[in-house]
Structure 1
Amino acid sequence: MTGERVLDLFQGARLTPTQRRIAQILVEHSGKAAYLSAAEVAGLAGVSQPSVTRFAMALGYRGYPALRRELRAVTSGAPSEPAGRNGMQRAVLAEADHLRRVADDLGRLEDVRKAAAILAGSRPLPVLGLRAAGPLAGYFGYFAAKVFPDVRVLDCGGTGLLDRLDQARAAGATALLAMVLPRYPREAVAAIREARAAGFAVVAITDSAVSPITELAEVVLPAAVGTHLVFDLHTGPMAMAMVLLEAMCDTAPEPVHRRLEEFEAAASRRGLFVA
């Protein structure tokens, strides 16, 4: 849990690729990060010592010593693992912590509302999610399509992906929702760069402020993934996706309500559900 507490220091910060590398090193070495000198951090990250100083200042500290003091305060107050818990229980409890952090971040809704306004006005609305993020993109797209016309889930890579982005843009799309989760598919990052070059506004749901797509998006909505099991848990990003969809619905409540009523009437007429 110490690494996650260190990661919290970087949430919401706009970091350069070099600064993201430094942040990642501090997270990976969270157990001793608070006692490393700027030179030692620079050596681990493969960057210059001034880069470490600039990183600290980008986070709002006067220099690296001030950031190190904050790291010591954070890591010294980290609670120990609950006694008597097995690995599965700890993994689930960690997800509960992730959801609490999402809830805390939602204390200020400016970013969510800005993202919702950007996406709700796009017709069609492409939703990108490759590899591990594919199911999340599909989940969001399934529900979004009930209330927004022409939601296009882009969950397959290859050269056809760029064709589908071009087609969405030609059809009038102005924004792209990108779901990018570890291990950050290279193809997804490249597609987002292409989308930006084509004039799309990009909203991203990703796992942290050190994600490689933070510098490519107008709005970033971070939600941590669980790393306590062999494969990641995506409870936090899924919750963030549904919060975003709720905010999108709030931008046009009357059309949304009408479309939902139309869907329910059609579902009843066709006998889609057993209950």
Structure 2
Amino acid sequence: MNDLMSKIQNNLSKFSKGQRLIAKYIIEHYDKAAFLTASKLGATVGVSESTVVRFATELGYDGYPHLQKALQEMIRNKLTAVQRMEVTSDRMGDQDILRTVLSSDIDKIRMTLDEIDRRSFEGAVEAILGARHIYILGVRSSAALSSFLGFYFNLLFDNARLIHTNSVSEIFEQILRVGEGDVVLGVSFPRYSKRTLKALEYSKKSGATVIALTDSRLSPLSQTADYTLLAKSDMASFVDSLVAPLSVINALIVAIGMRKQNEISDTFNKLEAIWDEYQVYEKLDNE
């Protein structure tokens, strides 16, 4: 964030009067500016859309969308819950919330499909299949994702472990013996969890292969990971969007399942017998 703000500050003397209004608004309201279109930003500060576009060009960007993306990338871990709520309110206004949210989630899956690194995905699959031990870690809202992944990995592997995260010390106690041949998969989205990051850094230093499921190459998790699986999440809402991350997790489970098909068939045959014997699932009248 400081780099972008410094660039704006250093260019103030070169800006026109209208561009200085834009600069002042961004400096004071960067959390809102990052999600305004060029026309909306111009209307907010009282200048034309073309002035906003020229402002972005003056800063060295190919156009306003590149400046906007830079703003979003730089602030993704800085928005408080209150700021997220304010931004969400500004963006949605009187729109149909159900349609807006579902359409936004569809867009996130599309963007994830376009941007995810296929080689990282395949590398992560290979690393997991060859792992001595598999550790899965996610806290706060990401705990739902890690729990879902842990549920299925416990069916696919006998060496998978979901890390419980009641405290920092408890996390490190559970990964104390992590080392070469192990895989640690960490999940975190803005605002990024320090506990998850520190655990991944420790695992990396201990010789483990680190896989990160996160939202950006600028994510601190990505800087530590051997393989990064990118999935878009809605950083502008006080509610985290987990649709695209969960879709990537589904793909990971299916890809591994296809490679372990024979073993899985045996496992599920045994489970079906157990589920039936102990009446795990409700049977419908027509069964």
TM-score by length of 2: 0.66
Matches of 2:140 and 2:218 in 1, distance apart? 19
**Are residue 93 (structure 1) and residue 110 (structure 2) matched?**
no
Name the SS of the counterpart of 1:149 in structure 2: coil
Contact kept? 1:116, 1:251, Cα under 8 Å: no
Match of 2:112 among 96, 102, 106: 102
Residue matched to 2:197: 189
Q: Which has the higher contact order (CA 8 A, sep 6+)?
A: 1
Q: What does residue range 80-159 of structure 1 map to in structure 2 within 5 Å?
A: 85-105=95-115, 109-156=118-165, 157-159=167-169
Matches of 1:208 and 1:265 in 2, distance apart? 43
Matches of 2:95 and 2:35 in 1, distance apart? 24
Name the SS of the counterpart of 1:242 in structure 2: helix
Cα shift readout 1:28-47 (whole Å, capped 9, x = no counterpart): 3664585445885xxxxxxx
Matches of 1:135 and 1:173 in 2, distance apart? 26
Cα shift readout 1:88-131 (whole Å, capped 9, x = no counterpart): 3211210011112233346x733222111111222331101011
- Structure 2: state its 5+ residue gaps: 8-29, 39-51, 70-90
Contact kept? 2:257, 2:264, Cα under 8 Å: yes
Residues 83/201 of structure 1: CA separation in 2 closer, same or farther (3 Å cut): same
TM-score by length of 1: 0.69
Matches of 1:137 and 1:34 in 2, distance apart? 42
Cα shift readout 1:173-205 (whole Å, capped 9, x = no counterpart): 611111111110111111110010011101111
Matches of 2:109 and 2:138 in 1, distance apart? 21
- One-letter amino acid matched to 1:122: A
- Structure 1: state its 5+ residue gaps: 1-16, 41-63, 75-80
The structure with the larger Rg is 2
- One-letter amino acid matched to 2:250: M
Contact kept? 1:114, 1:219, Cα under 8 Å: yes
Root mean square deviation of aligned Cα:
3.5
Residues 149/36 of structure 1: CA separation in 2 closer, same or farther (3 Å cut): farther
Contact kept? 1:91, 1:228, Cα under 8 Å: no
Residue matched to 1:71: 66
Residue matched to 1:267: 275
Matches of 1:135 and 1:95 in 2, distance apart? 17
Matches of 2:170 and 2:36 in 1, distance apart? 41
